[in-house]
Structure 1
Amino acid sequence: MCGLVGILAAQADVTPGHALLERMNVVQFHRGPDDDGQHQEPGIALGHRRLAIIDLAGGRQPLANADGSVLTVYNGEIYNFPELMRELQACGHHFRTHCDTEVIVHAWEEWGEACVEHFRGMFAFAIWDRKRQTLFLARDRLGIKPLHYARLPDGRWLFASEIKSLLTCPELPRDLDPKAVEEYFAYGYVPDPRSIFAAIRKLPPGHTLSLQPGTEDARPRPYWDLQFAASSPASTQAAQDELRARLHEAVDIRMVSEVPLGAFLSGGVDSSAVVATMSQLSEDPVNACSIGFGDPRFNESDHARAVAGRVGARHFLDQVDVDRMQLIDPLAQLYDEPFADSSALPTYELSRLTRQHVTVALSGDGGDETLTGYRRYRGFRQEERLRGLLPGGLRRPLFGTLAALYPKADWAPRAFRAKATFQALARDAVEGYLRSVTVVDDASRARLFSPRFRRELQGYAASEVLHAHAARAPREEPLDFVQYLDLKTWLPGDILTKVDRASMAHGLEVRVPILDHPFVEWAATLPANLRLHQGEGKYLLKRAFEQDLPHDVLYRRKQGFVMPIADWFRGPLRDTLRQAVLGERLADSGWFNPERLRQLVDEHQSGRSDHSRPLWALLMFESFLRQRVDVPAERIA
């Protein structure tokens, strides 16, 4: 795992400056502590930080082809590189190393922009082709690895694994994008392709971008999309057997490493299935690492311990308590833009623990999105069926009126919280889905933002992100629809961003076998009843691993990797919260309604309501503003 940076000159005969490239590269030291490399020539400058995993001696970057006319810098792992190497050798290509990086330059020579369609793995890379005077940027299909880019006012293009590298350029405008702020408070992250900075974009998953010196505008090109097409297996048992075989192969190719290897083990179904599979493939006990919490309501460590004992793994456990909240500011620095998933903190600590024992870890990320593990999928499917019973012209006023009349009852048992259900039924499918994932819902954001900031938005709403993806999403089966939206937004924007930044902060490579794209494509062909069966999510995965894992691990209620922040905000973090949310930074920005900020804090700390999610989002946003930007509100772009 590595970090890449680069500068494309505005004129082909100009060599970009060394000083900027050096600054861009050095701030990503954490992504590649083993080595660094740079290359400059007329038109281009490339930089790289390396975390050595395969071919420790021969994989230094930037790496060139035989005549030096094609160079690449690359972050990731291409797991089918041995097969591609043999295929390219048969086409006449000669290799000097045994690393996957060299496959990229020869694949470019052989297939051009279509090279990405041959790669199986996680990757973000840049290719400079001197003869074509072309810079080619690419990101893997599901967005496991990040890639950011920006065009400077003088015509240069910058690109990097992390935003912090781009921000080392003093000519890059720092103005914030109000649409990104709206999206952040809706989703808890800024979805691709936007970033919190108006001048910086993220290359979306499954896209490429071609640039040349002097290019003024460029649009990313998609090369992959997930197609849902249900097919009936011969039997449930046959589907279970195929799932096990496919996961076995996806795990197996991710266990190739020349450095110590281990796994994240949360005690949930996905990571437990991965660790069980690793144990079957390994002659030695698997190094499995877990994080627990002192509060038993949030602690899964007993389940992780049970799994480790069952499969014979070597188990390492650490605990996160309120004293680790001192990491709030370091986390804000790490993510470069506001990021409101509170599980980023235990993920950071899990990565720190894991790096003490191994350099590469496998995780179970992607199982919920691929095999329908979230409880919201069941609710969305039920709501969508009810929406289908009435035409929108009748449904919206009927359930809208019921929602207005029914009292809000967050304190009541779930069965009596009908207001939210009525609100969902009054909406269309996209707005109903957004309600199920939002951090601050539409009405609450309207109260949270100041009138001035709402004018800056010019009518823009965060739901437009989902509507854009929904235009390409399958509609016949509600599960297909909602999984597609998650795979395009929540998975790359939250889950994979969280793990990439937290792990790379410690020089740890994390591999995700459940997001092997052939496995994901196969899972999209499973009938809905094998993904969600009688209300049981991940039904087929659980059935497939009944012989390997404890029953109560497979079939207990999903818990999630969350912290007791609601209680901490009323107790040990009471003053920290008040100082941040009611302090000068948010007030002076001019973006928020001060009365609403105080109301959120007072209602939560009095116990009248649970506002922990919006308050955490505000806490992280305040930390971001305090550390990353120093711009008055009138400079919002």
Structure 2
Amino acid sequence: MCGIAGVVYYQSRPREAVLPVLEAMNRAQSYRGPDGDGVWTDGRVGLAHVRLALVGDAERGHEPLADETGAQLIFNGEIYRPAELMRSWGLEFAPGESDARTLHALLRRQGPDGLAEVEGPFAAARYDPAAGKVTLIRDLWGQKPLYLWRRPEGIYFASTVAALRAAVGPLTIRPEALLEYLIYRSVGGRRSAFQEIEQLPPGSWLEVAVDGSERSGQWYHTPAPDRFDARPSDVRERVDFAVAERLDPQLEQGIFLSGGLDSSIVATSAVLQANGSPLRFYSIGYDVSGVQDERHLARRLADNFDYEYQEIQLSAGQIPELFLDVARILEDPIQDPVTLPTLLLSRAAAGRTRCVLTGDGSDEFWGGYERFDDPPRDLADYFPRTAIFQPQDLGLSSAPASYLDQVEMPPENWAPLDRILAVEARNRLRNYHLARVDKLSMGCGLEIRCPFLDRQVTSLAMSIPAENKRLFGVPKGLLIEAYRRVLPEWLVERKKQPFSMPILQWLHGDLQSYARDRLGPNSRTASLVSAQPYLENLNEKSAAKIWSLLVLEAWMEVWA
């Protein structure tokens, strides 16, 4: 819901030399915070913040935020139930107070280990001048981005790659990142698409002293899948609570509705708990008919609710410009076709509200994808199931090992699907899904809240063995049983349909000449792989590869 940026210099500098750097970083990510900005520096540490206001008034929500000790905090995200947390420590939470104040107090009292008490997505930096150190933190699954650039003069950090580029200068594309993208649809591990820039890992903290020394650790650890007694009622109780926690009675709450199970659960739970709060549903379809257009299903569900419903249409003519818009906002290339609908839905919702709920994050924790069927024991045999291009298509003997750079591997004695789900949650979820959710919505001044990524919901899910979550052998069977009584029968019994777009129809029609012109022999991607064989033999698989190359071509136009 904001953008943060900063720097720790190993040698002190004049304040007047640091302030322009901070102001440049704020300008580069100003779209993340249309409601205000602030900078602070003592010449050794600099902090910058742009604000999208959801919690706290203009004065109390202004950052950088100082506490009574003189420590400074910048914060991107949300802390749910902040007043309750403050009262548990014997502290007041005044009307109009910001949830940043709660995070400030927690870090001062307990350090990063205290984050295990916190619910909500966040990335933050706290500078303690007395101790001469900056502490960086990130939420457990990486919903909020936090990038780092280590330099000889110091370490820079920000919510966006663009802010780091504004502070330091040109970037170098990491060659392995392009291969990771073409094979696995996104970059992997804790790296970015750029040689100089890495991510702070989810669920972790990094302490940087002004003398350049560092300490780091994990504040969150994935539970072992050893709970066999979880009932559908336990699941519904946790998910319902997560939905209620994310409803804001002071806002018109948007809900993105696809017609699938996950968004329908969120929508139904929200309706049952809204207590008169205004809700509005958004769905998207396409200018060609087919199974990919699920507006009729979303409309069918929305007709059960007494709330406003809005449909948006994505047409082939919008796609070339959307490719470029998405590339600018995402910063790392992501193949997922749903990026385009996400951006259009976010633009529509941002015209009316600051906050939207979605069903993102369910499949990785509750075993929803078809590729989870018949899981192989060896993880190396699983990863090709997620691929678009195979290494051989790119002239490689194997996929780049950098895709799993510093990704913690689960114990080998876990069941195969439990291991797969853990790796998906620790790597692909963040780089392929969550980067899209946060960045595209924040690019429109909109906050997306994801109940299925709630700490207690995901911890429960990860503690349940995968075979128990796939009750009766059905993907997400336990989740389905949890909501069977409140969802329409047609929805419960419907076979899972991945959210998709009519890419093949477009490539046979309105996008045909565009794709051929864009991916000719002089294209930026031609040095990596020729598009011609796929253009000449169009089918569902080759169309996915063409789409992947079109996304990368736009990304390289913007970032190369």
* TM-score by shorter chain over 0.5: yes
* 1:322 corresponds to: 316
Shift of 1:344: 0.2
Corresponding residue SS for 2:74:
strand
8 Å CA contact retained: 1:73, 1:127: yes
Superposition pairs for residues 212-361 of structure 1, below 5 Å?
A: 212-215=209-212, 218=214, 220-233=216-229, 239-256=231-248, 258-284=250-276, 286-294=279-287, 295-325=289-319, 326-361=321-356
CA RMSD of aligned residues (A): 2.3
Shift of 1:250: 1.0
* 1:601 corresponds to: 535
Superposition pairs for residues 522-601 of structure 1, below 5 Å?
A: 522-586=460-524, 591-593=527-529, 596-601=530-535
* 2:380 corresponds to: 431
Corresponding residue SS for 1:53:
coil
Corresponding residue SS for 2:336:
coil
* 2:193 corresponds to: 196
Deviations 1:407-444 (A, max 9, x none): xxxxxxxxxxxxxxxxxxxxxx2222111111212222
> Alignment partner for residue 176 of structure 2, among 161, 176, 179?
179
8 Å CA contact retained: 1:155, 1:214: no
Superposition pairs for residues 353-392 of structure 1, below 5 Å?
A: 353-380=348-375, 383-384=376-377
Counterpart check, 1:87 vs 2:63: no
Deviations 1:281-320 (A, max 9, x none): 1123521111122322201111111221224332111111
Counterpart check, 1:499 vs 2:499: no
Shift of 1:499: 0.9
* 1:65 corresponds to: 67
Using the alignment, how far apart are the partners of 1:190 and 1:202 within structure 2? 12
Using the alignment, how far apart are the partners of 1:435 and 1:73 within structure 2? 40
Using the alignment, how far apart are the partners of 1:374 and 1:14 within structure 2? 54
8 Å CA contact retained: 1:76, 1:123: yes
Corresponding residue SS for 1:610:
helix
Shift of 1:564: 1.2
> Alignment partner for residue 400 of structure 2, among 452, 462, 468?
462
Using the alignment, how far apart are the partners of 1:76 and 1:275 within structure 2? 22
Amino acid at match of 1:121: G
With over 3 angstroms needed to count, the CA separation of the structure-2 counterparts of 1:36 and 1:74, relative to structure 1, is same
Using the alignment, how far apart are the partners of 1:219 and 1:70 within structure 2? 19
8 Å CA contact retained: 2:147, 2:157: yes
Shift of 1:257: 5.7
With over 3 angstroms needed to count, the CA separation of the structure-2 counterparts of 1:587 and 1:183, relative to structure 1, is closer
Amino acid at match of 2:9: A
Using the alignment, how far apart are the partners of 1:517 and 1:227 within structure 2? 11
* 2:203 corresponds to: 206
* 1:426 corresponds to: none
Shift of 1:493: 0.8
Amino acid at match of 1:342: P
Corresponding residue SS for 1:211:
strand
Using the alignment, how far apart are the partners of 2:531 and 2:227 within structure 1? 51
8 Å CA contact retained: 2:280, 2:307: yes
8 Å CA contact retained: 1:95, 1:102: no
With over 3 angstroms needed to count, the CA separation of the structure-2 counterparts of 1:579 and 1:379, relative to structure 1, is farther
Shift of 1:510: 0.7
The gaps in structure 1 that reach 5 residues or longer are: 385-428, 448-458, 630-637
With over 3 angstroms needed to count, the CA separation of the structure-2 counterparts of 1:587 and 1:529, relative to structure 1, is closer
Shift of 1:66: 1.5
Shift of 1:464: 5.3
Deviations 1:30-81 (A, max 9, x none): 11111111112121111111111112332111111024x2111111111132
Corresponding residue SS for 1:379:
coil
Using the alignment, how far apart are the partners of 1:362 and 1:101 within structure 2? 22
Using the alignment, how far apart are the partners of 1:259 and 1:286 within structure 2? 9
Using the aligned pairs only, state the percent identity.
29
Bigger shift: 70-79 or 257-266? 257-266
Shift of 1:219: 6.8
* 1:165 corresponds to: 163
Corresponding residue SS for 1:194:
coil
Amino acid at match of 1:603: N
Amino acid at match of 2:3: G
8 Å CA contact retained: 1:53, 1:259: no
Amino acid at match of 1:263: I
Amino acid at match of 1:369: E
With over 3 angstroms needed to count, the CA separation of the structure-2 counterparts of 1:460 and 1:375, relative to structure 1, is closer
* 2:103 corresponds to: 104
Deviations 1:513-557 (A, max 9, x none): 111111111122334343113431111221222222112222212
> Alignment partner for residue 449 of structure 2, among 489, 497, 511?
511
Amino acid at match of 2:171: R
Bigger shift: 620-629 or 501-510? 620-629
Amino acid at match of 1:599: P
8 Å CA contact retained: 1:194, 1:201: yes
Deviations 1:163-184 (A, max 9, x none): 1111113x44522212222211
Using the alignment, how far apart are the partners of 1:50 and 1:70 within structure 2? 19
Q: How high is the TM-score relative to the length of structure 1?
A: 0.82
Deviations 1:193-234 (A, max 9, x none): 111111011111111111123427x5752221212333232x
8 Å CA contact retained: 2:4, 2:50: yes
With over 3 angstroms needed to count, the CA separation of the structure-2 counterparts of 1:532 and 1:208, relative to structure 1, is same
> Alignment partner for residue 394 of structure 2, among 445, 458, 479?
445
Bigger share in helix:
1
Corresponding residue SS for 1:625:
helix
Superposition pairs for residues 410-421 of structure 1, below 5 Å?
A: none
Shift of 1:272: 0.7
* 1:4 corresponds to: 4
Shift of 1:85: 0.7
Amino acid at match of 1:312: D
The number of aligned residues is: 555
Amino acid at match of 1:286: L
The gaps in structure 2 that reach 5 residues or longer are: none
Amino acid at match of 1:4: I
8 Å CA contact retained: 1:30, 1:507: yes
> Alignment partner for residue 488 of structure 1, among 419, 426, 436?
426
Amino acid at match of 1:433: Y
* 1:612 corresponds to: 543
Using the alignment, how far apart are the partners of 2:123 and 2:264 within structure 1? 28
8 Å CA contact retained: 1:585, 1:625: no
8 Å CA contact retained: 2:73, 2:126: yes
With over 3 angstroms needed to count, the CA separation of the structure-2 counterparts of 1:584 and 1:379, relative to structure 1, is same
Using the alignment, how far apart are the partners of 1:582 and 1:97 within structure 2? 57
Corresponding residue SS for 1:289:
strand
